[in-house]
Amino acid sequence: MGTDHHTDVRQAVDDDVAELVRLRALLFETLGGDFFNPPSAGDDWRDALARVLKEKLTEDDTRILVVDGDNGLAACGIGTVEQWFPGPHSHNGRVGHVIGMVTDPAYRRRGHGRAIMHGLLDWFRQRDVARVDLYASTDGAPLYRDLGFVDHPDPSLYWRP
């Protein structure tokens, strides 16, 4: 991990939902811009996120891992698995996604993100995913590259209805 102390990673539980919402909001604040923080967003998304997190905590297609801090969560990361259509580049069509990797600023540079990623990558291996996708922030990209992530060959586009 690059540090001389141990990081305990655990699965999130219902009592962590408020902290998971806090960390996800922190992620969006850090990323900034109108895409991640549209002026019209309001706070309704936080309630919707809390509902989805509570639902996904027990779903087989989702793994939410956390590291505890002194007063709340220090870090979190979410993994999901989707069934896409198999092809020559994806033998079984099972695609993993890493979402919402964030560490509270007070706990950064301690190996928490790396420990969470190792836990998620093990979980993906257990589910026989053909590949794992993620969007990396500038700060997070070196960690992901160190773990073996490379540039995706497909350009990314998006559309909002």
pLDDT tens-digit profile of 76-93?
999 999 999 999 989 999
**Is residue 155 predicted with pLDDT exceeding 90?**
no
Q: In this model, does residue 35 exceed pLDDT 70?
A: no
Mean pLDDT of 97-126: 95
Domain around 139? 9-146
pLDDT value at residue 139: 85
DSSP 156: P
State the average pLDDT over residues 1-26: 83
Domain-located, residue 35: yes
Domain count, the chain: 1
Q: CATH code at 86?
A: 3.40.630.30
Counting residues of the chain whose pLDDT is more than 90, the rounded percentage is 69
pTM above 0.75, yes or no: yes
